[in-house]
């Protein structure tokens, strides 16, 4: 039986998810964005879980700031991200940290990934479950969605609110194409676990965004 636990990252209020196979006591973590991942580490230890994978939806720091702390605590876990994410994650977005530290020398680089997703619709077998990776550039170049059974972890590609484009590595035309691809691939009843905000179905999101232009 699969269980999904949500944590709101600190200091940047994005979502981190822990997906647990309650039968085997194994888990994966998606988008750990709290610097030391303290709650996630405690949850894994308290529930006597084995962490197999850490999955990162995209390169923005509020979705990967806690990766290194998790990897240090669980040395057998493997880190997975898209190819574009792996190229860009340590080159951009240093300005994020200036909001939280009075230290211009503060530096964070995400660990090198163990698995780089370079081809669309790549899948990974985890504990008898098929994890599918879908490239969805638009919010960022390295964005991808992660599908596990009837659940889609979307990072910042799909959020309950309007999409956000930062003007540096965002492209609304790419985002439109990515959303259109998802609409062709996925049923409306699939559960969306966004990078910010509350869970909803894909159909509910489409209705909310009916006035958006999709390619």
What are the 10-residue block averages of pLDDT along the chain, 215 residues in total? Answer: 95 93 97 96 98 97 94 98 94 62 76 94 92 96 97 96 80 93 95 97 89 49
Tally the domains of the chain: 1
Identify the pLDDT of residue 91: 75
Does some domain include residue 214? Answer: no
Other CB atoms within 10 Å distance of the CB of residue 20: 19
CA–CA distance, 120 with 106 (Å, rounded to integer)? 35
Identify the pLDDT of residue 164: 80
Does some domain include residue 204? Answer: yes
CATH code, 100: 3.60.15.10
Does some domain include residue 115? Answer: yes
Give the strand pairing for 78-82 and 50-55. parallel
Does some domain include residue 29? Answer: yes
Does some domain include residue 108? Answer: yes
Whole-model pTM?
0.93
Q: Which residues contact 111 (CB under 8 A, 6 or more apart)?
A: 67, 68, 71, 79
Does some domain include residue 215? Answer: no
Q: What residue numbers bound the domain in which 26 lies?
A: 2-208
Does some domain include residue 213? Answer: no
Identify the pLDDT of residue 186: 95
């Amino acid at each position: 039986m699969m269980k999904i636990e949500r944590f709101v990252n600190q200091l940047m209020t994005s979502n981190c998810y822990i997906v647990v196979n309650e039968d085997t006591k194994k888990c994966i973590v998606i988008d750990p964005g709290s610097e030391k991942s303290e709650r996630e580490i405690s949850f894994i230890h308290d529930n006597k879980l084995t962490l197999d994978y850490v999955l990162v939806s995209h390169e923005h720091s509020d979705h990967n700031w806690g990766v290194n702390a998790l990897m240090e605590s669980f040395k057998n876990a493997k880190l997975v991200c898209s190819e574009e994410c792996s190229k860009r994650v340590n080159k951009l977005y240093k300005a994020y940290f200036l909001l939280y530290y009075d230290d211009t020398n503060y530096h964070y680089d995400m660990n090198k990934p163990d698995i780089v997703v370079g081809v669309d619709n790549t899948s990974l077998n985890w504990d008898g479950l098929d994890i599918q990776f879908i490239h969805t550039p638009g919010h960022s170049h390295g964005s991808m969605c992660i599908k596990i059974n009837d659940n889609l972890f979307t990072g910042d590609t799909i959020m309950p609110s309007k999409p956000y484009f930062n003007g540096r590595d965002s492209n609304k035309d790419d985002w439109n194409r990515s959303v259109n691809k998802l609409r062709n691939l996925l049923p409306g009843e699939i559960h969306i676990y966004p990078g910010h905000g509350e869970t909803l179905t894909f159909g509910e999101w489409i209705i909310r965004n009916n006035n958006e232009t999709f390619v």
